[in-house]
């Protein structure tokens, strides 16, 4: 492998950073035919963040896509060895994950259940079997262990060298010892990079600079929430008994420690401290020096070291041979940071939270596909850089969240659990009323949102807490709010939902091109639709309201606003559409009044007629509620009669008080998002990011009625090809569990006739129908009425595939 020293004047793509991520992206771009790729590294390859990685590869991750990426990475090594003749340093020794508390045992059983949905062979071992796998261990307090034979570890330099060799064999040019000092940006898009030896023109620049990725982003005027945190591990003196290199990897999360073989006869021992320290280099440019390390901090490492000596008694007689204390790049939510930034053509692949080596192959694959083909094969929406809003540019906010996440890295995380760090940030206008109502608050995209109101806890005293994890963060108030909404009305604050205004002469043409449904309807019409990628996958799930000939209002989920606005703007540039896309989320609040008495509550407050004839379903009308100017949209996400009421933010608190005063005597109650989730499951309303993803088509998701194949739109060709191939191979189906007390949380495996057939996308309890409901993608030929089994922790619970929706299938309540 030759590392060049001369610089070209231009390249099709420039990759900044010669760690495993940068080398993998360059390699995979070349595999897709992008051979004019230049990789720049300011030091030697892997001497930034990669070189000191502990190299653990644990295939089972918290999301489907991360697991698929790491599984792909594992399969890549044989290919690299064949192509380059180099050993990428892979040791498939298997991995143990220990559980020493009842809570961790539960977590482990849930992970074992999830593993089956990925085709991973995860065995649960008792203490004696665990000791057989690794006789070095003290298993006196071990209750259970998970064994994944496909786990292992990597040698950082070897993997980097193999990826780089593969890239150069395919035509990539790699230049080391060259620092990027600037990113050229013109007209909102990248034009190349600047180096001490001159500029290099390029329409694609990929920031894969590891812990320095935030600095490189700022060179382009882009703030990235990358937080370098000091992470420490040690390598011990030799253990008696010979080589340790083929010992299984071990994670002991209850004692916040991990270890594997190292230096032939020692152990590499690391841990996650409770009081982590960020790295803020005085120069402002991380990784200025190669192989950056900090002074050892053994006081901070004392807990991990003590726990390691408890777990491996042989360590009590051994010294520490060396300490590796270096920077690792973390993000505020512990997920990777991938995708195109607001500067067109300027991409980022960083923030790997110590999993860069494990995921390097998968990261290269998805980034190359994204850049070259417009859409990656895997759904990487949870890792998309656009999941953050402008608030993430605050280093104080990002740092606080990242440090908090690091400190809890090995904690058991229960569904519905909320964290208080860096809150509150974004608050709706009804905030002053929440405390007196006993609001239990959650957070999404920085917004404070009500999960339920404590004042409603006594409405349904018969409500039973769900079993297990589903009942940990729960309140009978949820059942009470559903009951109130079904019997009278519920008042919901959905101000956090993202609102985008699309205006201009090209607005209609652009939205017709992007929307699978037809939005060319009269002013005042609402359209439920999806935005698709070229492969037919769902990029967004939203409503479009036509407010004028050239003015449309899009409402999308709270966490999707930045992403969806970016999607629309970039396609406007591609098509040359003359439009403006404005995020008006903060300008308008939204209060939702839903329930059979919604009309009775709202009509006395307005002079406008709310009758079915004058105000039908899926229409929008401007009116006054008392003195408050409102855009009222007759639509629902809970399956009841009602309206979404959009008012300028300064009026929203007044509107809340008016509705509370009018609705209270009629039985209306304030209600939160957990009640919404229960009711939307009963109606079969999908949620983007779980039921709907970028790798599933609207046909597979059961959204055929909202697709208009008689008009052209992005993704139509893929849908036509799918339809020509017959019924979808997989369909999103509604399941009802036999045991109403067992509630799915998402990710549970589903068997048909005893054979693994799918996984749950979302689940919950439907209080109006009195059933535990789950949705799962299953083979398309599985009819309603089919019995199935759902794996919930260590039990297989019988369930039945049901025709949907379970509640009000004729839409009589919605159209009342």
* CB burial readout 601-639, b (16+ within 10 A) else e: bbeebbebebeeeebeebbbbebebbebebbbbbbbbbb
Query: How deeply is 753 buried, as exposed, middle or buried, from its count of CB atoms within 10 A (0-12, 13-18, 19+)?
Result: exposed
- The 3-state DSSP class for residue 485 equals helix
Helix axes 156-169, 20-31, angle to 10 degrees: 30
- DSSP for 171-203, please give it: T-EEEES----EEEEETTEEEEEEETTEEEE-S
- Within 10 angstroms of residue 726's Cβ, the number of other Cβ atoms is 8
Contact by Cβ (8 Å): 179, 196: yes
Strand pairing of 580-583 and 588-594?
unpaired
Q: Does the annotation count 258 as an active-site position?
A: yes
* CA separation for the pair 23, 160 (Å, rounded): 7
Q: Which of 379, 541, 564, 691 is catalytic?
A: 541
- How many Cα atoms occupy the beta-carbon half-sphere of 678 within 13 Å? 30
CB proximity list for 742: less than 8 A, separation 6 or greater: 466, 467, 468, 470, 772, 792, 795, 797
Set 231, 325, 355, 513: catalytic member: 231
CA gyration radius for the chain? 27
Q: Which of 258, 272, 651, 685 is labelled catalytic?
A: 258
The three-state DSSP-derived secondary structure of 636-687 is CCCCCCEEEEEEEHHHHHHHHHHHHHHHHHHCCEEECHHHHHHHHHHHCCCC
Q: Which is it for strands 249-252 and 346-350: parallel, antiparallel or unpaired? A: unpaired
CA–CA gap between residue 504 and residue 173 (Å, rounded): 44
Beta strand 439-444 pairing with 551-556: unpaired
**Whole-angstrom distance, CA of residue 707 vs CA of residue 687:** 17
Find out whether 777 and 731 touch, Cβ atoms under 8 Å.
Answer: yes
Quote the Cα angle for 38-41-45, to 5°. 110
How far is it, in rounded angstroms, from Cα 272 to Cα 21? 23
Q: Could you tell me which of 242, 211, 244, 214 has the C-alpha nearest to residue 229?
A: 211
Q: Rounded to whole angstroms, how far apart are CA atoms 267 and 334?
A: 27
652 beta partners:
none
CA-wise closest residue to 671 among 482, 476, 474: 482
How far apart CA 208 and CA 205 sit, in angstroms, is 9
Nearest to 531 by CA among 504, 563, 492, 503: 563
Q: Catalogue the E-assigned strands of 177-276.
A: 182-186, 189-195, 198-201, 204-207, 227-236, 249-252, 257-262, 266-271
Tell me phi and psi for residue 433, to 5 degrees: -90, -10
What are the two backbone dihedrals, phi and then psi, of residue 404, each rounded to the nearest 5 degrees? -65, -45
Q: Are 77 and 88 in contact (CB under 8 A)?
A: yes
Other residues' Cβ atoms within 10 Å of the Cβ of residue 470: 22
Tell me which residues are annotated as active site. 231, 258, 541
């Amino acid at each position: 492998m030759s590392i060049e020293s001369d610089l070209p004047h231009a390249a099709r793509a420039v990759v900044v950073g010669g760690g495993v991520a940068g080398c993998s992206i360059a390699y995979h771009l070349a595999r897709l035919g992008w051979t004019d790729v230049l990789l720049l590294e300011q030091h030697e390859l892997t001497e930034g963040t990669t070189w000191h990685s502990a190299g653990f590869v644990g295939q089972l991750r918290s999301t489907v896509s991360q697991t698929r990426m790491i599984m792909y990475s594992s399969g890549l090594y044989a290919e690299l060895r064949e192509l380059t003749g180099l050993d990428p340093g892979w040791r498939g020794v298997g991995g143990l994950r220990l559980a020493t508390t009842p809570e961790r045992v539960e977590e482990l059983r849930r992970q074992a259940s999830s593993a089956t949905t990925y085709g991973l062979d995860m065995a649960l071992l008792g203490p004696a079997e665990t000791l057989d796998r690794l006789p070095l261990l003290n298993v006196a307090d071990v209750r259970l262990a998970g064994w994944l034979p496909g786990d292992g570890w990597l040698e950082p330099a070897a993997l980097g060298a193999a990826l780089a060799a593969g890239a150069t064999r395919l035509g990539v040019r790699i230049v080391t010892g060259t620092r990027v000092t600037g990113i050229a940006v013109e007209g909102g898009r990248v034009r190349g990079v600047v180096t001490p030896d001159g500029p290099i023109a390029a329409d694609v620049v990929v920031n894969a600079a590891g812990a320095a990725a935030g600095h490189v982003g700022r060179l382009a005027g882009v703030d990235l929430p990358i937080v370098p945190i000091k992470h420490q591990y040690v390598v011990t003196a030799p253990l008696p008994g010979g080589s340790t290199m083929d010992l299984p990897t071990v994670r002991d999360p209850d004692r916040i420690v991990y270890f594997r073989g190292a230096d032939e006869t020692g152990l590499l021992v690391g841990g996650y401290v409770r009081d982590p320290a960020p790295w803020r280099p005085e120069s402002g440019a991380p990784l200025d020096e190669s192989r950056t390390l900090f002074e050892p901090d053994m006081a901070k490492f004392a807990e991990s070291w003590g726990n390691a000596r408890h777990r491996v008694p042989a360590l009590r007689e051994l010294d520490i041979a060396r300490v590796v204390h270096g920077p690792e790049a973390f993000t505020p939510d512990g997920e990777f940071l991938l995708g195109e930034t607001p500067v067109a053509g300027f991409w980022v692949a960083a923030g790997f939270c110590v999993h860069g080596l494990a995921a390097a192959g998968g990261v290269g694959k998805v980034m190359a596909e994204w850049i070259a083909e417009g859409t990656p094969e895997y759904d990487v929406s949870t890792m998309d850089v656009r999941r953050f809003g402008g608030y993430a540019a605050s280093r104080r906010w990002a740092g606080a969240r990242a440090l908090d996440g690091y400190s809890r890295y090995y904690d058991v995380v229960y569904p519905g659990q909320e964290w208080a760090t860096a809150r509150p940030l974004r608050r709706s206008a009804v905030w002053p009323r929440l405390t007196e109502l006993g609001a239990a608050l959650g957070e999404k995209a920085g917004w404070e949102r009500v999960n339920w109101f404590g004042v409603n806890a006594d409405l349904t005293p018969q409500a039973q807490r769900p079993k297990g994890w589903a009942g940990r963060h729960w309140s009978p108030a949820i059942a009470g709010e559903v009951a109130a909404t079904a019997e009278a009305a519920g008042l919901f604050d959905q101000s956090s939902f993202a609102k985008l205004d699309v205006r201009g002469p090209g607005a209609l043409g652009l939205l017709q091109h992007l929307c699978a449904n037809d939005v060319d309807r009269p002013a005042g019409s609402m359209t439920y639709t999806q935005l698709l990628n070229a492969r037919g996958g769902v990029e967004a799930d939203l409503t479009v309201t036509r407010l004028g000939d050239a003015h449309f209002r899009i409402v999308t989920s709270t966490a999707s606003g930045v992403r969806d606005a970016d999607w629309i703007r970039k396609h406007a540039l591609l098509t040359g559409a003359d439009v403006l896309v404005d995020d008006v989320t903060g300008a308008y609040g939204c209060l939702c009044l839903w329930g059979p008495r919604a009309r009775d509550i709202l009509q006395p407050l307005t002079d406008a007629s709310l009758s079915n004839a004058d105000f039908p379903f899926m229409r929008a009308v401007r009116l006054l509620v008392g003195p408050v100017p409102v855009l009222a949209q007759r639509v629902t996400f809970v399956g009841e009669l009602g309206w979404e009421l959009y008012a300028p933010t300064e009026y929203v608190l007044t509107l809340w008080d008016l509705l509370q005063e009018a609705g209270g005597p009629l039985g209306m109650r304030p209600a939160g998002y957990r009640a919404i989730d229960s009711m939307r499951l009963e109606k079969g309303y999908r949620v983007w990011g779980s039921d709907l993803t970028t790798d599933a088509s609207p046909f597979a998701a059961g959204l055929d009625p909202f697709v208009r194949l008689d008009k052209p739109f992005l993704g139509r060709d893929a849908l036509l090809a799918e339809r020509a191939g017959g019924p979808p191979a997989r369909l999103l189906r509604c399941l009802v569990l036999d045991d109403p007390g067992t509630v799915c949380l998402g990710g549970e495996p589903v068997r048909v006739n005893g054979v693994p057939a799918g996984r749950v996308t979302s689940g919950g309890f439907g209080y109006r129908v009195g059933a535990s409901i789950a949705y799962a993608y299953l083979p398309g030929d599985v009819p309603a009425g089919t019995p199935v089994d759902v794996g919930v922790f260590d039990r297989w619970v019988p369930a039945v595939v049901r025709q949907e929706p379970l509640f009000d299938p004729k839409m009589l309540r919605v159209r009342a």
